[in-house]
Amino acid sequence: MKPIRLAILFVAALAAKAVILTSCADYTSPRPGGGGAQNPVEKPDDRVHAAAASDTAKSDGVQVRIDNFTFTPQTLTVAPGTKVTWINHDDVPHTVKSTEKKFLSKTLDTDDTFSFTFTDAGTYEYFCTVHNHMTGKIIVK
C-alpha cells in the first residue's frame, strides 16, 4: 500500500512542476527594464499587425489584443491623437499599466476593453500588473 501512495505523490509532484514551468516558459525578465531578454522569438504576424495599425487613420483608432498572455502587437507605432484600445481575449484577468504611470486600466476580464488616446509624441512602455512578464510599447510620432 505504501508504494502506491508514493507513486501517486510522485505523479502529483511532476504534474505540479509541469504546470509551474509551463506558465513561466520563454520569459527571463519579470518586468520592463529588468535586465534579461524578453521572449526572443519574434512572431511574423506582430510586424503585420503593427504595420497595419500604423496605417490606420487616427479617428478609427487601433486595437491591441491580449491573448495567450501576450500583447499583440507588442510594439505599435501611431500618430498623435490616436486612440488605442486593448481587448482581453484571454480567459484570465489582465491589466494595462504604463511604466511611467501615464495610464492604468481596471482589471480586464474576458472581452473587457480599455482605451487611451495618445496625444503627445514619445515612447510609452506598459505591462500587465497581474503578469509582469507581459510587456508592450506604443510609439507615438
Give the pLDDT band (50/70/90) at residue 25.
Answer: very low
pLDDT given for residue 8 in this prediction = 58
Q: Using 50, 70 and 90 to split pLDDT, how confident is the model at 61?
A: confident
Class of domain 44-140: mainly beta
Say if CB 114 and CB 61 are below 8 A apart.
no
For the cut 70, the answer to whether the pLDDT of residue 31 exceeds it is no
For residue 94, give the C-alpha cell.
Answer: 489582465
Q: Which of 53-57, 92-96, 133-137 has the lowest mean pLDDT?
A: 53-57
Q: What is the DSSP string of 44-102?
A: HHHHHHHHHHHTS-TTT-EEEEEETTEEESSEEEE-TTEEEEEEE-SSS-B--EETTSS
Is the per-residue pLDDT at 65 higher than 60? yes
Residues β-bridged to residue 71: 66
